[in-house]
Structure 1
Amino acid sequence: MSNYNFSSVYAKHITDLISMKRDFGYKYVTEEFVLYQFDQYVICNNFTFTSITAEVIERWMEKRQNETDATRYSRISALIQLASYMCDIGISNYIPRMPRIPKSDFIPYIYSREEMQAIFKACDNLILSGLHFNSVIIILPTLFRMLYATGIRISEALNLQDSDVHLDENYMVIKEAKNRTDRIVPISQSLSDVCRQYVHYRERLPLKVDKKYFFLSLSGHKCGAKHTVFRWFRLILKNAGIPFTGNHHGPRIHDLRHTFSLYAMEKMTREGSDMYHSMPILATYLGHKSIQSTEHYVRLCRVIFPELERQIEFINQQIYPEPEYGND
């Protein structure tokens, strides 16, 4: 079922496409929003064509003020999917060529080990001022240790249920993740101990409304509002002495995932694994759809830990012996 009321001449085809995609297992949330924008665009411009014409598409493809290349790409991609779907059911449409995928020059913020210790200390020293029954302060020391120690996404952590967290066997099950896949995430004994401490205090809450969820607010409800955690994180960064630059440069909560990934790759490389051989392992652990999503950690690892590059170069030099030249 769609979250929007489509009413343009293409409304039925849009809703049918969304239903088909979700039947195939795709969440199709961002695309649904883009198609709703397109639906409104068609209405505002009084388009009544039964097919999607070049005029409709070319005006839609025009870059908007202050729009990033990535946003424009996603707008065009969603419309091309709709046009292709309509062609498949027998309605002739104009299908433009996809623009090039915009190259990202984004460099994530990598927390140092000293900064992580400062973050943990700031979490442990948080004090709640006033009566805020919906506060999530109780989960923060455990949540941020979990994000750093496992690299899971903030949404994956907040959606954990008690049945997903196996502290005796030291693993968690991540269900319905970003790519609609489930995966098992091993955890360390120290993280299990931290989780047990949290559960001990959580069980003392007077009210537990959403009993099945692992992370609960003081009111006993599921901690589902990520923006609330983000506000606390800004305070934690301030108390930890880590400047927040903003403007998409962070530091962000999601950078804990990047930090985990980089340190995991560094550890595997120092223990003798080849960086590129480590990529499939890390990609599976992180729940990446392909190793291409993991590949940038290799480049980042070489920049931040140049000694690893020299180590690899030394090993490579030993593969082939130096030629010995005789008198022949």
Structure 2
Amino acid sequence: MSTWPDADGKVIDRYLAQLRLRHPTSPTTYRRILRSFQEVTARQNPEAALITRETLETWLSEGARVWARSTLLHDARIINRFLDYLVQKGFIAVNPIDELRATYHASSDKAVLRALLSPDVDQALEALRQFPAFGSVLGELMRNHITLMRTRGYRYQAQARWLWRFDRFLQAHPEFAAEPVPVMLRHWTAARPTANHAAECEKLARILGKALHRLDPATMPKRPDPRPGQQVAKQWRRPYIYSAEEVRQLLDIAQSYPSPRAPLRPASLYTMLVLAYCCGLRLGELARLDLGDVDLAAGTITIRETKFFKSRILPLANSALVALKEYLEMRRKAKAPQSPESGLFWHDQGNAGYTPHAIAQCLVDILRRSGIKPAKGKIGPRIHDLRHSFVVNRILEWYRAGINPQDKLPFLATYLGHRDIHSTLVYITVTQDLLEQANERFRRFGAHCLAVSEGVQP
């Protein structure tokens, strides 16, 4: 194992060099933080590269005399990443923060650091303790069922979360361990009074019924109850259909988005909005786009392995194609990687692409800046409503062109990446414009039938 702490600080210098910090004062700040931690480590363990919980507590207590709690937590997260680097390079055997997180099954490293700053560290760490995944009496059944479904090709992410929450409930209430599964589910349903929880429990009952039936064919799955799902459907928020003026406003804000440290970001956000509105792309699909997915010659983009494990090639409208060409030119001038595997929406901080979460944060901020969405909270229009707007506007264009939308729904479902038209029908929101077009189409094609039936000659 290599030696650390070192007297000349070369390990810290090598670590800072590979971080590629952009702000000119950041290396100085990082070096100060890391050197202070190195001094504490050398003072406590002068003969061995050993970092323990006591080392962290000493450094935090000394820092708490000088810095505010929020600043100290920020510095501690820098130390945590440095410890990961030391483990990777072989300077230390283990990161004690990771060790504490594993011991107490804590939800995050940040939670562990907060606990180490508490007056009673042992009590704070104990309060973080989480139950091990699938450690209940039904844990093995649940884990095996998830493995089976994923082996069959299902992602099974939402269902796994439902099972995991139920497993935690059972571990917190060992008194239910001897009860039949339906009784366990009744207690779990009663634990939260919300309609969403009741609907989730109903789906959970079907999943567990199928898992038990696979083990014992004599155990028949429960007949589904549609009422919890119907109650949730009544609470669904009506999609917001953006007008052309509102979309133009969003695009203008994206083009002037304040981003002095990432000059390419305004163009990236503008192009994201164009593709979300003109192609109905999901946020995850935007994040997964690579440079090789764009074919300017053919005027198409390829959406790979998205929801329902579908890949599709989408033709682009002329306006979207022009915006994409301009973005690619700006991306090239920004010296972004030009390999086909490079993320289409690239930023130079970390030389990586945008994650779905980062895209959502930026685009929601644009919504708030426009005034379309309130400054705080989850209420108001969503970015996903651009996908709804795409569907409504496409149907409106078909009506105006004299095309029967019913005949085109299978094509629209394919374009959106749906399994069938039933998923697409969810996106058809009846607006005033759509209703007027439908009424006009009925007047042209069906009004004369009513006149004849009433004895009036057309």
TM-score in same-fold range (> 0.5): yes
Distance change in 2, residues 1:209/1:12 (3 Å): farther
Q: What are the Cα deviations for residues 196-239 of structure 1, in whole angstroms up to 9, with x where unaligned?
A: 22122222345649952211123220111x33333322442344
Measure, in 1, the Cα distance between the counterparts of 2:219 and 2:280.
Answer: 43
Greater helix proportion: 2
| Structure 1 length-normalised TM | 0.84
* 1:55 paired residue number: 183
CA RMSD of aligned residues (A): 2.9
What are the Cα deviations for residues 64-97 of structure 1, in whole angstroms up to 9, with x where unaligned? 14x3x34431333134212321222227658544
Matching residue of 1:291? 421
After the TM superposition, which parts of structure 1 deviate over 3 Å for at least 4 consecutive aligned residues?
A: 91-97, 135-138, 204-211, 238-241, 245-249, 296-299, 318-321
CA gap 1:166/1:72 in 2 versus in 1, 3 angstroms: farther
Q: Which AA in structure 2 matches 1:151?
A: G
Percent identity over the alignment? 23
Aligned counterpart in structure 2 of residue 110 of structure 1, from 232, 238, 241: 241
1:74 aligned to 2:200?
A: yes
Partner of 1:196: 325
The Cα shift of 1:169 comes to 0.6
* CA distance in structure 1 between the aligned counterparts of 2:348 and 2:246, rounded to whole angstroms: 28
Q: Does 1:25 align with 2:153?
A: yes
* 3-state SS of paired residue (1:229): helix
SS at match of 2:393: helix
CA contact (8 A) 1:63 1:72 kept: no
Paired residue for 2:352, among 214, 218, 221? Answer: 221
Q: Could you list the per-position Cα deviations for residues 125-170 of structure 1 after superposition, in whole angstroms to 9, with x for gaps in the alignment?
A: 12214x369x844410111111111001111111112222212111
* SS at 1:185 equivalent: strand
Question: Which residue of 1 is the match for residue 172 of structure 2?
Answer: 44
| Secondary structure in 2 matching 1:107 | coil
Alpha-carbon contact 1:53-1:93 (below 8 Å) kept:
no
Between 1 and 2, higher relative CO (CA 8 Å, sep ≥ 6) is seen in: 1
What's the secondary structure of 1:179's corresponding residue? Answer: helix
Contact 2:373 2:379 (8 Å CA) reproduced: no
Aligned counterparts of 2:409 and 2:310: Cα–Cα separation in 1:
19
Aligned-pair CA distance for 1:304: 4.0
Change (3 A) 1:124 1:132: closer
1:258 equivalent in structure 2:
388
Letter paired with 1:89: L
Matched, 1:300 2:426: no
> How has the CA–CA distance of structure 1 residues 72 and 202 changed in structure 2, closer, same or farther, with 3 Å as cutoff?
farther
Instruction: Summarize the Cα distance change of 1:296–1:19 in structure 2 as closer, same or farther, 3 Å threshold.
Output: closer
Match in the other structure for 2:306 = 177
Per-residue deviation, 1:307: 1.8
Within 5 A, what are the aligned runs for 1:101-180? 101-102=229-230, 103-104=233-234, 105-129=236-260, 131=261, 136-180=265-309
Q: CA deviation at 1:306?
A: 2.8
User: Does the CA-based 8 Å contact 1:53-1:94 persist in structure 2?
Assistant: no
Residue 250 of structure 2 aligns with an amino acid whose one-letter code is I
1:87 alignment counterpart: 213
CA distance in structure 2 between the aligned counterparts of 1:206 and 1:266, rounded to whole angstroms: 41
Q: TM-score, normalised by structure 2?
A: 0.62
Task: State the AA in 1 paired with 2:328.
Answer: V
Q: Unaligned 5+ residue runs, structure 2?
A: 1-131
Match of 2:392, SS state, is helix
Distance 2:182 2:220 in 1: 6
Write the distance in 1 (CA, Å) between the matches of 2:158 and 2:427.
26
Do 2:396 and 2:433's aligned partners in 1 also have CA atoms closer than 8 Å?
no
Q: Is the 8 A contact 1:122 1:236 kept in 2?
A: yes
Letter matched to residue 212 of structure 1: S
